[in-house]
């Protein structure tokens, strides 16, 4: 089948026309950027900081109050029978912003609640005693045994 | 290729085991040091001389991190360790650590002692209600009876002040677990009245 050069070009244009049309889009002008001028005075900034501080203090007060309620509702003596229970069922969790939050305690010390505690305070989690050493030991022994097995073969 | 892979695996495994061995060896050395310090101090003689009045509190100077502050004896699991001040890695390698700002064992309040489950507290899960725990401090000797055990999730509120003398022992849970254990085991003990002391 013999197709002339011109006919070939025409065929390509016809075939490519449809996809090419999709490339033409209306020009959308982005909305103008609204520039907000900072009109706050140093006095306003100080007031804002004070409000934030008061909010934090009230949050802390709520936390302390809830911990005190949990403490008061908790019997001083542990039940005589062996109880292996989850924390949620025995102790009311204090009000917290999020589990990932870092809590500033009354003494000013910052404690990361994900990693246990290094100083006693009411409602503190148990100290961080988890250690990866047993995992390292098992992994090391396994790798060594496998390695020696492969070397012997 | 197989031999090369075997060599890499064996070498990596040996390095890991070496790291673990060094960590345990350093812990053992620190433990011996703490024991020697405890024995050398006047605490031992004081403990032998005084039959402590349970519940008496005293104003105490905060101890330096790592300083031996008590002796912990749990006959049923054959544990006899010197407790050091602090619960950071360095202190927990040397021995059970006393949580700073918690009460001294025997004083009014909650005395918290923690240790790793793969070292000093590896037998803590075998403690049952009614078992005896003994603590010795510079102020005297206190005999405790286990009155409770519970498991809490890591990071959850677990420690609270108490009016009466309380001893709380903590470690990771499950005790036999590969990898960082997700929960914490808490053993609670109360002092035994003098007449019942063992």
Q: Which residues of B touch A68 (CB under 8 A)?
A: none
Q: What is the pLDDT of residue B115?
A: 93
pLDDT along chain B (198 residues), means of 10: 87 92 90 86 58 55 85 94 92 92 91 92 91 89 93 90 93 86 92 66
Flag if A76 and B162 touch (Cβ within 8 Å): yes
Flag if B17 and A113 touch (Cβ within 8 Å): no
Which of A70, A79, A135 is nearest residue B148 as measured by Cβ atoms?
A79
Q: What single-letter DSSP state applies at residue A76?
A: S
For residue B108, give both structure tokens.
């009014």
Q: Are B78 and B120 in contact (CB under 8 A)?
A: no
Flag if B158 and A124 touch (Cβ within 8 Å): yes
Omega prior to A4 cis, within 30 of 0 = no
Q: What is the pLDDT of residue A103?
A: 38
Q: What is the pLDDT of residue B77?
A: 93
Flag if B13 and A80 touch (Cβ within 8 Å): no
Q: Are A113 and A102 in contact (CB under 8 A)?
A: yes
A81 touches chain B (CB under 8 A): yes
Tens-of-pLDDT digits for all 153 residues of chain A?
556 777 777 777 666 655 554 444 555 566 666 665 656 666 666 776 776 666 666 666 666 666 655 555 444 444 444 444 443 333 333 333 333 333 333 333 444 444 457 888 888 899 988 888 888 888 999 999 999 988 887
**Which chain A residue is nearest to residue B175, measuring alpha carbons?**
A130
The C-alpha atoms of residue B125 and residue A150 are separated, in whole angstroms, by 39
Total Cβ atoms within 10 A of residue B93? 23
Q: How far is B182 from chain A (nearest CA, A)?
A: 8
Reduced to 3 states (helix: H, G, I; strand: E, B; else coil), residue A124 is strand
Which of A71, A138, A148 is nearest residue B160 as measured by Cβ atoms?
A71
Q: What is the pLDDT of residue A65?
A: 63
Q: What single-letter DSSP state applies at residue B124?
A: G
Q: Which residues of A touch B179 (CB under 8 A)?
A: 132, 134-135
Flag if A122 and B162 touch (Cβ within 8 Å): no
A101 touches chain B (CB under 8 A): no
A7 touches chain B (CB under 8 A): no
A72 touches chain B (CB under 8 A): no
Q: Are B95 and B31 in contact (CB under 8 A)?
A: yes
Which residue, among B155, B117, B55, has the nearest Cα to A117 in the 3D structure? B155
Q: What is the pLDDT of residue B139?
A: 80
Q: What is the pLDDT of residue A79?
A: 42
A75 touches chain B (CB under 8 A): no
Sign of CA dihedral A104, A110, A113, A118: negative
Q: How far is A111 from chain B (nearest CA, A)?
A: 11
B161 touches chain A (CB under 8 A): yes
Q: What is the pLDDT of residue B159?
A: 92
Q: What is the pLDDT of residue B86?
A: 93
Instruction: Answer yes or no: pTM beyond 0.80.
Output: no
Q: What is the pLDDT of residue A83?
A: 43
Flag if B150 and A131 touch (Cβ within 8 Å): no
B179 touches chain A (CB under 8 A): yes
B190 touches chain A (CB under 8 A): yes
Which residue, among B111, B22, B16, B63, has the nearest Cα to A127 in the 3D structure? B111
Q: Which residues of B touch A109 (CB under 8 A)?
A: none
Chosen from A78, A109, A142 to mutate, greatest number of chain B CBs within 10 A: A78
């Amino acid at each position: 089948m013999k197709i002339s050069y011109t006919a070939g070009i025409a065929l390509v244009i016809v075939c490519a026309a449809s996809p090419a049309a999709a490339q033409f889009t209306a020009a959308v002008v982005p909305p103008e950027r609204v520039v907000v001028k900072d009109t706050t005075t140093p006095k306003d900034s100080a007031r804002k900081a004070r409000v934030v501080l008061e909010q934090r203090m009230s949050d802390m007060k709520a936390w302390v109050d809830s911990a005190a309620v949990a403490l008061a509702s908790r019997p001083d003596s542990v039940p005589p029978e062996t109880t292996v229970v989850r924390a949620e069922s025995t102790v009311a969790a204090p009000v917290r912003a999020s589990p990932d939050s870092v809590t500033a305690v009354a003494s000013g010390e910052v404690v990361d609640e994900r990693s246990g505690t290094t100083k006693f305070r009411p409602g503190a989690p148990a100290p961080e005693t988890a250690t990866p050493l047993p995992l390292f030991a098992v992994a090391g022994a396994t790798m060594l045994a496998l390695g020696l097995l492969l070397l012997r073969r | 290729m197989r031999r090369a892979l075997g060599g890499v695996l064996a070498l990596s495994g040996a390095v890991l085991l070496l790291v673990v061995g060094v960590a345990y060896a350093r812990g053992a050395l620190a433990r011996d040091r703490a024991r020697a310090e405890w024995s050398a101090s006047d605490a031992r003689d004081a403990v032998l001389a005084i039959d402590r009045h349970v519940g008496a509190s005293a104003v105490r100077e905060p101890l330096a991190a790592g300083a031996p502050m008590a002796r912990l004896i749990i006959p049923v699991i054959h544990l006899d360790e010197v407790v050091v001040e602090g619960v950071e890695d360095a202190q927990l390698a040397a021995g059970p650590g006393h949580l700073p700002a918690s009460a001294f064992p025997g004083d009014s309040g909650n005395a918290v002692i923690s240790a790793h489950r793969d070292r000093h507290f590896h037998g803590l899960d075998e403690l049952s209600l009614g078992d005896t725990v003994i603590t010795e401090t510079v102020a005297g000797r206190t005999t405790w009876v286990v009155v409770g055990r519970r498991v809490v999730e890591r990071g959850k509120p677990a420690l609270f002040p108490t009016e009466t003398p309380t001893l709380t022992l903590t470690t990771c849970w499950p005790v036999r677990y590969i990898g960082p254990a997700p929960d914490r085991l808490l053993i609670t003990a109360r002092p035994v009245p003098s007449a019942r002391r063992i």
